[in-house]
């Protein structure tokens, strides 16, 4: 029985491998088409930029195909593979130039060619072997004379070749699609930079909090103590003056509390702690002078640092919408897809936002970079502006029970 089960499993595995081989041949064809599109697009770019959308589309599709094969190769070798892109294809010239400089895109293109050629070779080989097999089988006399020596040899070769061909496809992907050593070195440099920036930002933030406390609440509380001391002295000799002093002390205590509240709001807003990113963004949208249409879909709460980073980045972008855009309507879209949380803030204002000119957007970009996050701006003069913040992160599995945070999808105008 056990032997039979094992045989059934092996046949199943082989059939699966055969299916993967066919799929590999099909994607090889797709790869060749994409390569052709890429080359044609690049040739057409000088012709009034007609090739730009073609190149952007082909690059995007190549990424999807490469990702598929990375996952497949990761399964075969048991090691997860990840590309290291430094660019994001889009219709803008700047993004496209960044794509051309991105080494991973170059390696992807080489893989397209290699995978395409390999697929064609495998196709003809398979075709040849199957043709030979069927030729021999048809030529045979009776049902049992099919099992001649040449037929068995060819069948054995096919049986053995199929899994190895699948491994071959995976090996190509592993060699060409995973980041090179140079890319890994660059990644280390990038991480070192972003870590230094994060540490600097943290230290600056602590200094700001210390200064705010020192000049604000601490000074006020000292004043409260002094005023109350004076009141204690005056309470017998001049009760009216004492009462006035106590009033003054209470007013000062109130101001100290207000300053502490503002300070806490700047460190970790209570609504973010209570309701998570969804509630925090709803609250931030409420405070925006421009009406904001909300479209938030988050199955669970992300981790606290991710929530905080995206909350503050979005709050700042919304504040910019209020002060600079001259917009009459804005929208906020939050999605989790492909292992990344993305927040899009758009407005119908005058446009022309440029991260290279203002320090605000650069600052947001730097802070997101500490989480490997990115900020993209499309803001043609005359609008509309769309700012996309993307932060790769893993979402925890959905919690159950009454204490689970309420992070339902929300669609409303704030």
Binding segment for another protein (CB under 8 A), chosen from 131-139, 189-197, 199-207, 289-297, is 289-297
109 contacts 83 by C-beta, under 8 angstroms: no
Considering only 328, 357, 394, 408, the residue that binds another protein (CB under 8 A) is: 328
409 binds another protein (CB under 8 A): no
**Cα gap 361→246, rounded to integer Å:** 47
Q: Which is nearer to another protein, 261 or 357 (CB)?
A: 261
**Cα gap 376→374, rounded to integer Å:** 7
Looking at residues 380 to 399 of the shown chain, list those that interact with another protein (rule: CB under 8 A): none
Asked, as a colleague might, if the bond just before 384 is cis with ω within 30 of 0, I would say yes
**Cα gap 110→127, rounded to integer Å:** 26
Considering only 359, 381, 403, 411, the residue that binds another protein (CB under 8 A) is: 403
Q: Take residue 100 and report the two structure tokens written for it.
A: 């051309």
Q: Which is nearer to another protein, 289 or 338 (CB)?
A: 289
136 contacts 150 by C-beta, under 8 angstroms: yes
Of the candidates 298, 306, 303, 299, the residue with the CA atom closest to the CA atom of residue 334: 298
414 binds another protein (CB under 8 A): yes
Q: Which is nearer to another protein, 113 or 257 (CB)?
A: 257
Looking at residues 211 to 270 of the shown chain, list those that interact with another protein (rule: CB under 8 A): 250, 253-254, 257-258, 261, 264-265, 270
283 binds another protein (CB under 8 A): yes
Binding segment for another protein (CB under 8 A), chosen from 136-144, 154-162, 272-280, 305-313, is 272-280
305 binds another protein (CB under 8 A): no
Q: Take residue 169 and report the two structure tokens written for it.
A: 């496809």
Q: How many residues make up the chain in this entry?
A: 414
Considering only 107, 174, 275, 367, the residue that binds another protein (CB under 8 A) is: 275
288 binds another protein (CB under 8 A): yes
- Three-state DSSP state, 308: helix
Q: Which is nearer to another protein, 104 or 227 (CB)?
A: 227
Q: Which is nearer to another protein, 283 or 345 (CB)?
A: 283
289 binds another protein (CB under 8 A): yes
**Cα gap 143→129, rounded to integer Å:** 21
Q: Which is nearer to another protein, 70 or 275 (CB)?
A: 275
Q: Take residue 211 and report the two structure tokens written for it.
A: 């200064």
Q: Which is nearer to another protein, 31 or 330 (CB)?
A: 330
Residues in Cβ contact with 406 at an 8 Å cutoff, skipping those fewer than 6 apart: 275, 276, 278, 279
Binding segment for another protein (CB under 8 A), chosen from 12-20, 109-117, 213-221, 283-291, is 283-291
**Cα gap 217→211, rounded to integer Å:** 10
**Crossing angle, helix 181-213 and helix 359-369, to 10 degrees?**
120
Q: Quick one: how far is CA 175 from the chain centroid?
A: 24
62 contacts 38 by C-beta, under 8 angstroms: yes
- Smallest gap from Cβ 253 to another protein, in A, equals 8
**Cα gap 333→331, rounded to integer Å:** 7
Considering only 72, 108, 282, 347, the residue that binds another protein (CB under 8 A) is: 282
Residues in contact with another protein by the rule CB under 8 A: 250, 253-254, 257-258, 261, 264-265, 270-271, 273-275, 279, 282-283, 286-291, 322, 328, 402-403, 413-414
């Amino acid at each position: 029985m056990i032997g039979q089960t094992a045989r059934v499993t092996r046949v199943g595995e082989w059939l699966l491998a055969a299916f993967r081989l066919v799929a590999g041949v099909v994607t090889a064809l797709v790869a060749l088409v994409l390569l052709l599109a890429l080359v044609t697009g690049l040739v057409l770019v000088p012709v009034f930029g007609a090739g730009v959308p073609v190149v952007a589309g082909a690059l995007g599709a190549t990424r999807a195909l490469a990702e598929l094969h990375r996952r497949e190769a990761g399964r075969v070798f048991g090691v997860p593979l990840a590309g290291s892109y430094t660019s994001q294809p889009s219709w803008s010239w700047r993004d496209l130039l960044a794509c051309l400089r991105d080494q991973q895109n170059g390696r992807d293109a080489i893989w397209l060619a290699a995978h395409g050629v390999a697929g064609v070779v495998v196709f003809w080989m398979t075709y040849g072997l199957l043709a030979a097999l069927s030729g021999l089988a048809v030529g045979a006399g009776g049902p049992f004379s099919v099992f001649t020596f040449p037929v068995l040899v060819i069948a054995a070769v096919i049986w053995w070749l199929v899994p190895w061909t699948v491994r071959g496809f995976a090996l190509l992907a592993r060699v060409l699609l995973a980041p090179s050593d140079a890319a890994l070195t660059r990644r280390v440099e990038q991480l070192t930079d972003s870590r230094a920036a994060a540490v600097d930002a943290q230290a600056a933030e602590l200094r700001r909090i210390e200064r705010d406390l020192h000049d604000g609440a601490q000074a006020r509380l000292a004043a409260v103590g002094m005023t109350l001391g004076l009141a204690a002295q005056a309470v017998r000799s001049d009760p009216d003056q004492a009462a006035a002093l106590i009033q003054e002390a209470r007013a000062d205590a109130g101001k100290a509390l207000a300053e502490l509240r503002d300070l806490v709001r700047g460190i970790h807003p209570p609504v973010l702690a209570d309701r998570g990113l969804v509630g925090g963004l709803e609250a931030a949208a409420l405070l925006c002078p421009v009406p904001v249409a909300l479209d938030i879909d988050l199955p669970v709460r992300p981790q606290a640092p991710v929530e905080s980073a995206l909350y503050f980045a979005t709050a700042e972008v919304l504040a910019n919408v209020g002060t600079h855009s001259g917009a009459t309507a804005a929208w906020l879209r939050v999605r989790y897809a492909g292992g990344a949380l993305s927040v899009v803030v758009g407005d119908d204002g005058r446009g022309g936002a440029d991260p290279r000119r203002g320090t605000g957007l650069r600052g947001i970009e730097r802070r997101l970079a500490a989480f490997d996050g990115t900020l993209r701006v499309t803001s043609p003069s005359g609008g509309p502006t769309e700012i996309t913040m993307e932060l790769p992160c893993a979402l925890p599995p959905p919690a159950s029970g009454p204490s689970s945070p309420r992070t339902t999808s929300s669609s409303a105008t704030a």
